[in-house]
């Protein structure tokens, strides 16, 4: 792999999110720090991205590959150490790239939130990637880095600083930002492909298939808002928890397999946080609105909703993305009852600015800090941000200005 032409290839670089990854690399990398290229299925659009960004990318090579053309995908993947892709829905456009990465031993990152698709990857590719030390890392965007990295950091803090095991981690999100068309396309595809029901399995991504009815009941997604004294605020269901909790549980289960457990019977759950005097009203309103929206998606109303929502290639304005933000409060509970608090926050729309930062820094962790990664160089498989990147990613994110504080 060391003799390959590139360290990272950015696939989907002419899309709404993909273009932002090109801008991120151009803005944050020093000249000659990294060998990288941009890729997609349309050379003209890729050249237009280069022209728009300007001189900083004028010498960056353009690769052309349609995800439906496996030979073209293989040719592209064979030239790089790390593949970064923003082309979704991944269930439609991602499998050929993962397949090539596993066969050609190329590391991989994406921003999917499609847990049923990732489950299929685990079944099909995990053992081979693990044997070869190839890191296939889905969920490297806002789905699900704050949740996964936050739970990992809190659990390790409890172990290293308190000398105890971690019994539970809870996350409480507050967000402000916009929605892009790629996200909605993914939601519609999951529903129309009949995967929505499968995604409800609370242990969908765990390597072990057997769980007691008590475990399943204890880990069900919250359905109703309630006041939570741990954060002195109302906590309601978080619309992304059906993704993030599954990822954290996979991380916990993998670490347990590697004799580095978070703690016996570890639990993770997350919520939306609503403060102030009207917090309870806001929590109830958001919960009811989310339920109604999800119910509408399951009916013929979905076809009428599609034209009203952002389309693939569309997204929030620059102003909305720049003014957005997210905040994640964390509460960890040690096995002896002591509690640890944490915080992850950053400026920028979580679905776009933060997602691009998470994704790009994940790829750069693989490309520039590989020997420092947990389990390197042997660790491989269908992994998670916490199991594949761990503290290396946390430190890279801190250096970008993201606040990550534990304890």
What per-residue confidence (pLDDT) applies to 2? 61
Of 105 and 184, more confident:
105
- Mean pLDDT of the region 15-33: 94
- Mean pLDDT of the region 79-100: 97
pTM above 0.75, yes or no: yes
Say which CATH architecture domain 6-141+353-392 belongs to: 3-Layer(aba) Sandwich (3.40)
Query: Which of 274, 263, 245, 266 lies closest to 147 in space, CA to CA?
Result: 245
Of 46 and 289, more confident:
46
- Mean pLDDT of the region 138-143: 96
What per-residue confidence (pLDDT) applies to 144? 93
* Chain mean pLDDT for the chain: 94
Of 82 and 302, more confident:
82
208-219: pLDDT as tens digits: 778 889 999 999
Query: Which of 347, 354, 323, 324 lies closest to 145 in space, CA to CA?
Result: 354
- Mean pLDDT of the region 188-206: 88
How far is 118 from 140, CA to CA, in rounded Å?
13
345-382: pLDDT as tens digits: 999 999 999 999 999 999 999 999 999 999 989 999 99
**Are 93 and 353 in contact, with CB atoms under 8 Å apart?**
no
- Mean pLDDT of the region 106-133: 98
What per-residue confidence (pLDDT) applies to 192? 81
What per-residue confidence (pLDDT) applies to 367? 98
State yes or no: pLDDT of 1 exceeds 70.
Answer: no
214-252: pLDDT as tens digits: 999 999 999 999 999 999 999 999 999 999 999 999 999
- Mean pLDDT of the region 155-160: 98
How far is 324 from 265, CA to CA, in rounded Å?
36
State yes or no: pLDDT of 75 exceeds 90.
Answer: yes
Of 290 and 123, more confident:
123
47-66: pLDDT as tens digits: 999 999 998 899 999 999 99
249-288: pLDDT as tens digits: 999 999 999 999 999 999 999 999 998 888 999 999 999 9
Of 263 and 187, more confident:
263
**What are the residue ranges spanned by the domains of the chain?**
6-141+353-392, 145-349
Query: Which of 248, 167, 169 lies closest to 205 in space, CA to CA?
Result: 248
State yes or no: pLDDT of 184 exceeds 80.
Answer: no
**Are 273 and 237 in contact, with CB atoms under 8 Å apart?**
no
Residue 298, CA distances (Å) to 201, 220, 289, 303 in order: 18, 21, 15, 10
What per-residue confidence (pLDDT) applies to 339? 97
Question: Where does 193-240 have alpha helices with state H?
Answer: 213-218
List the structure tokens of 360: 């790009």
Interacting residues of 381 by C-beta distance below 8 A, sequence separation 6+? 126, 127, 129, 130, 134, 135, 136, 254
Least confident segment among 262-266, 306-310, 338-342? 306-310
Residue spans of beta strands (DSSP E) within 86-188: 107-109, 135-137, 166-176
């Amino acid at each position: 792999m060391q003799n390959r032409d590139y360290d990272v290839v950015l696939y989907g670089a002419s899309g709404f999110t993909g273009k932002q990854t090109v801008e991120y690399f151009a803005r944050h990398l020093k000249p000659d720090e990294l060998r990288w290229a941009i890729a997609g299925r349309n050379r003209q659009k890729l050249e237009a991205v280069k022209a728009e960004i300007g001189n900083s990318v004028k010498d960056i090579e353009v690769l052309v590959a349609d995800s439906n053309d496996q030979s073209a995908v293989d040719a592209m993947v064979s030239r790089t150490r790390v593949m970064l892709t923003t082309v979704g829905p991944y269930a439609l456009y991602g499998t050929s790239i993962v397949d090539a990465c596993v066969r050609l031993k190329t590391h991989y990152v994406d921003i999917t939130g499609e847990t049923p698709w990732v489950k299929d990857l685990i079944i099909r590719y995990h053992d081979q990637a693990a044997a070869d030390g190839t890191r296939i890392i889905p969920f490297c965007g806002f789905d699900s880095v704050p949740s996964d990295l936050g739970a990992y950091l809190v659990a390790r803090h409890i172990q290293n600083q308190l000398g105890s095991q971690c019994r539970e981690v809870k996350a409480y999100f507050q967000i402000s930002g916009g929605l892009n068309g790629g996200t909605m396309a993914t939601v519609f595809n999951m529903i129309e492909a009949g995967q929505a029901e499968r995604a409800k399995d609370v242990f969908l991504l765990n390597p072990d298939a057997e769980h007691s009815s008590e475990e399943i009941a204890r880990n069900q997604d919250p359905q109703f808002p309630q006041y939570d004294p741990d954060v002195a605020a109302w906590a309601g269901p978080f619309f992304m928890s059906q993704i993030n909790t599954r990822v954290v549980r996979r991380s916990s289960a993998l670490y347990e397999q590697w004799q580095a457990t978070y703690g016996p019977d570890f639990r993770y759950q997350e919520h939306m946080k609503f403060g102030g005097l009207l917090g309870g009203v806001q929590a109830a309103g958001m919960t009811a609105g989310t339920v109604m929206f999800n119910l509408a998606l399951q009916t013929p109303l979905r076809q009428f909703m599609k034209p009203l929502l952002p389309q693939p290639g569309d997204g929030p304005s620059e102003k909305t993305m720049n003014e957005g933000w997210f905040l994640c409060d964390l509460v960890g509970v040690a096995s002896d009852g002591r509690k640890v608090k944490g915080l992850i926050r950053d400026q920028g729309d979580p679905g776009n600015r933060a997602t691009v930062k998470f994704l790009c820094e994940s790829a750069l962790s693989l490309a520039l800090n590989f020997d420092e990664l947990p389990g390197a160089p042997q660790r491989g498989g269908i992994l998670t941000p916490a199991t594949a990147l761990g503290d290396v990613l946390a430190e890279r994110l801190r250096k970008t200005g993201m606040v990550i504080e534990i304890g």
